[in-house]
Amino acid sequence: MKNTIITIILITKYSLVKYGYAQCGIDKFKCKDGQCIANELLCDGQANCKDESDETYIECNKPEMATCPDYTFRCSYGACIDGDAICNGIKNCIDNSDETLPNCINSSFNTSTSCAKNQFKCNNRQCIAESNLCDGIADCTDNSDETIIQCSSINCPKFFFRCDYGACIDGDLKCNGIKNCADGSDEYPRHCKEIEATTPRLIPITLTTSQSPVTIKSKSCLVPPQPINGYWKLHKSQCCTEQDGYQCENCNVKQGTWLESGAYLVYTCNSGYKLNNSGIAFCSRGEWLSIPACIEIRCAKLQSPSMFAICKHDDLPVSCFDSVLPRTTAQLTCSPGYREDTRLTSSSNVRCNNNGQWEPEPIQCIPACGISTPSSKTLIVNGTQPQITEFPWHASLYVTKNSSVSKQFICGATIIHESLLITAAHCVYDDDNKKFYDASKYDIITGNIFREYDNPLHDIKIVKKAKVKNIYNVCSYLGFDGNYAADIAILEITEPLIFSSFLVPICLDILDEISLHAGILGKVAGFGRTASSPSSQILQTIKLPIVSEDQCTSSTNDSRKYIAAYDKFCAGYANGSSVCDGDSGGGLIFEKRGQWYLKGIVSLSVGIKIVGGSRICDSYSYSLFTDLDHHMTWIQDIIVKLETHKTIPLCIERYNTKYRYNT
């Protein structure tokens, strides 16, 4: 019986040691670095051990952790988190596996989110401080701030260690038993061969005026002043030894104390304040690195071009243009030209909590595409003159041939995104030299009903101007020699547009809901020739029916070779009402359930006549349009790459009606 009791005691003791409970008590878990944490913090998705040993595959897949409750989500390494926390833009699993699920694609941050100049925009459109980029700590929930793409070109200062993917950390943190690089490369054996397995105990050297002079090593650091609205203490591992059940705490250190290189201070803020970084300052070769500061807890500002907010703090009105204090409430509405993103679980009535977070999640406002307010008066050829609210997505494209000549109108364009417009490739192509012109030659205007760039009648409250930054096109485009196949170009502008009721993007028919068949009517706006003059000084609009291929090809001899291009369709009349010179690049749009969709780009007329020795389009012939459906994948890809800050090739190579990139 006695042997049985001894065996039970030994087995129990072995189990406690094996599962990390020895020396910490039965209700605590011992981290690999010796730290003790509460059992309930084990495998909860958050690193409560400084060395993250409480959130590992080994710990989270032991028998007692084999399953998670039905209402929770199991992280890829085994931790259990709240089932409602997945796809919420916050890293709740330490490996971010709760934000990388396939169903998280439609739950990402609002595409219209913009970051301040001193911030970095993560791939998921989260904003973080620029100073947190490539510092070894993944501040973006998708880890995109700590990747070889972002960090490979960074040069690390002297005495810093360079992580395998490029981030820079304090050289003294290398091989200290704690993963300080996001990929853990600072603890890889190949980097630690010449480093001792243990870190020597750090003893502070205290100087007082009554002591004889002491020579301080150049690598020691004089403790910094206590922070405003907070305090620091020396980490307990460097000043205290746990024994006889005594629990160590961080230690107070007098001003005037010198600490050895490798010492670190733990910072804490007073109520109402929070740390601006990790909360730890390191002594490295005589200098303190990353000294934190305690900043006032505030919630991010809500007022933006896309959203209007009314804020109150303790029932008193406050500005929503700046960050606000806890207990501030806000009522939110989307600005004209934007609508609430209904894919997200959010609220228009929110409150700033004590942690500086809005609760519930505020609504996100995204561009409201294809919404117009028709209002035209009877007056392109045989068209009508619209108000700009009827075509709030229409833009005009201008070229500057040389500095002594004013900007010249050349084509129309259509807004598809805050930073992107679509036009015809031939508008920005040098057909003589078979190459695209430089983007810097071009400017665009939105909201204008008068053609000239500097027309004094422009409404300055509505008309917006922007310069073209990049021209994206199909590499194989050859203009006239290629029968104008792939006559499409996407223009990126230098500064994004701010939408309103007078400035709205057109919808893209991504789901192919509108089928183009003979007889269906669409609309085009432009400054093309009128029946009585060479070109129009005022924006015109016309309704055009789709024409069958047989009817189109039988109308003229020229039409057959052009419509043979893989991405063309035919529309218009043969009675003198048609798009013509000056309408090129404009969009042919169609309505579906109260929204307008872009389906075609004005490319060319199938009829040409000679007037005074010049070739001009024949308004008594049909017109050909570039079919957007053939290019939708490419268009979507450019939008995604732009919003995720990825490189966009200036042209793509068409191959078997699909596209491959040509860099």
Please give the pLDDT value at position 22.
42
Q: Which residues contact 335 (CB under 8 A, 6 or more apart)?
A: 305, 306, 307, 308, 365, 499, 500
For the chain, how big is the Rg over CA atoms in Å? 33
Residue 13 lies in a domain: no
Residues 266, 344 within the same domain: no
Give the amino acid at 642. Answer: L
Which residue would you say has higher pLDDT here, 262 or 460?
460
Mean pLDDT over residues 299-303, rounded?
Answer: 93
Judged against a pLDDT cut of 90, whether residue 312 lies above it is answered with: yes
Task: Give the pLDDT band of residue 108 (cuts 50, 70, 90).
Answer: very low
Measured distance CA(298)–CA(278) in Å, rounded: 18
Q: Which two tokens stand for residue 552?
A: 């189109």
Judged against a pLDDT cut of 70, whether residue 322 lies above it is answered with: yes
Please give the pLDDT value at position 401.
84
CATH number of 260's domain: 2.10.70.10
Residues 442, 495 within the same domain: yes
Burial (Cβ within 10 Å: 0-12, 13-18, ≥19) of residue 116: exposed
Mean pLDDT over residues 15-30, rounded?
Answer: 58
Which residue would you say has higher pLDDT here, 400 or 372?
400
Find the range with the poorest average confidence among 280-294, 510-524, 546-560, 619-633: 546-560
Distance of CA 61 to the CA centre of its chain: 35
Q: Three-state SS across 218-245?
A: CCCEECCCCCCCEEEEECHHHCCCCCCC
Find the range with the poorest average confidence among 74-88, 96-110, 533-547, 574-588: 96-110
Last residue of a domain, one of 320, 352, 367: 367
Which residue would you say has higher pLDDT here, 328 or 581?
328
Count up the domains in the chain and report the number: 6
Q: Which two tokens stand for residue 197?
A: 């397995």
Residue 353 lies in a domain: yes
Task: Give the pLDDT band of residue 563 (cuts 50, 70, 90).
Answer: low
pLDDT in tens, 58-99: 788 777 776 787 778 888 778 898 887 888 777 788 877 777
Please give the pLDDT value at position 331.
96
Measured distance CA(405)–CA(403) in Å, rounded: 6
Residues 468, 579 within the same domain: no
CATH number of 482's domain: 2.40.10.10
Dihedral pair phi/psi, residue 238, rounded to 5°: -110, 5
The DSSP code sequence of 457-480 is: TS-TTT-EEEEEEEEEEETT--GG
Mean pLDDT over residues 240-260, rounded?
Answer: 77
Judged against a pLDDT cut of 70, whether residue 38 lies above it is answered with: yes
How many CA atoms, within 13 angstroms, populate the side-chain half-sphere of residue 532? 4
Spatial CA neighbour of 37 closest among 341, 247, 325: 247
Task: Give the pLDDT band of residue 587 (cuts 50, 70, 90).
Answer: very high
Please give the pLDDT value at position 577.
59
Task: Give the pLDDT band of residue 654 (cuts 50, 70, 90).
Answer: low
Find the range with the poorest average confidence among 89-103, 193-207, 380-394: 193-207
Cα–Cα separations (whole angstroms), residue 186 to 41, 154, 363, 456: 26, 17, 41, 64
Which residue would you say has higher pLDDT here, 297 or 213?
297
Mean pLDDT over residues 614-625, rounded?
Answer: 69
Residue 499 lies in a domain: yes
The DSSP code sequence of 83-116 is: GGGTTSSS--STT-TTSSSGGGGGGSS-TT----
Last residue of a domain, one of 505, 539, 559: 505
Which residue would you say has higher pLDDT here, 196 or 619?
619
How many CA atoms, within 13 angstroms, populate the side-chain half-sphere of residue 425? 27
The DSSP code sequence of 191-206 is: HHTTS-SSPPPP--EE
Given its phi and psi angles, is residue 491 left (phi above 0), alpha (psi -120 to 50 degrees) or beta? beta
Residue 97 lies in a domain: yes
- Domain hosting residue 523, numbered range: 507-628
Residues 58, 124 within the same domain: no
Residues 236, 277 within the same domain: yes
Judged against a pLDDT cut of 80, whether residue 610 lies above it is answered with: no
Residue 374 lies in a domain: no
Residue 426 lies in a domain: yes
Cα–Cα separations (whole angstroms), residue 218 to 158, 203, 280, 283, 463: 16, 16, 21, 11, 63
Task: Give the pLDDT band of residue 414 (cuts 50, 70, 90).
Answer: very high
Residues 229, 333 within the same domain: no
Which helix (H) or strand (E) segment is 4 a member of? helix 2-18
DSSP state of 188: -
SS3 assignment, position 631: helix
Q: Three-state SS across 417-438?
A: ECCEEEECHHHHEECCCCEECC
Is the link from the previous residue into 200 a cis peptide, with omega within 30 of 0?
no
Vertex 599 angle, CA 408 and 392, to 5°: 55
Q: Which two tokens stand for residue 185?
A: 């490369």
Give the predicted TM-score (pTM) of the model: 0.57
Mean pLDDT over residues 248-258, rounded?
Answer: 86
Measured distance CA(627)–CA(641) in Å, rounded: 23
Which residue would you say has higher pLDDT here, 443 or 373?
443
Judged against a pLDDT cut of 90, whether residue 20 lies above it is answered with: no
Judged against a pLDDT cut of 60, whether residue 5 lies above it is answered with: no
Residues 556, 569 within the same domain: yes
Given its phi and psi angles, is residue 434 left (phi above 0), alpha (psi -120 to 50 degrees) or beta? left
Residue 93 lies in a domain: yes
Task: Give the pLDDT band of residue 579 (cuts 50, 70, 90).
Answer: low
Residues 83, 144 within the same domain: no
Spatial CA neighbour of 344 closest among 645, 96, 110, 49: 110
Is the link from the previous residue into 336 a cis peptide, with omega within 30 of 0?
no
How much of the chain, in percent, has pLDDT values that exceed 90? 34
Maximum distance among all alpha carbons in the chain? 120
Judged against a pLDDT cut of 60, whether residue 18 lies above it is answered with: no
Task: Give the pLDDT band of residue 374 (cuts 50, 70, 90).
Answer: low
pLDDT in tens, 140-158: 877 888 887 788 778 887 7
Q: Which two tokens stand for residue 385?
A: 């003159």
- Identify the residue whose tokens are 């004209």: 336
Mean pLDDT over residues 341-356, rounded?
Answer: 91
Q: Three-state SS across 290-348?
A: CCCCEEECCECCCCECCEEEEEEECCEEECCCCCECCCEEEEEEECCCEEECCCCCCEC
- The overall average pLDDT reported for the chain is 80
Measured distance CA(134)–CA(364) in Å, rounded: 29
Spatial CA neighbour of 423 closest among 562, 598, 638: 598
Residues 577, 554 within the same domain: yes
Spatial CA neighbour of 151 closest among 139, 164, 170: 164
CATH number of 162's domain: 4.10.400.10
Residues 481, 416 within the same domain: yes
Please give the pLDDT value at position 435.
93
Residues 621, 563 within the same domain: yes
Residues 517, 601 within the same domain: yes
Residue 19 lies in a domain: no
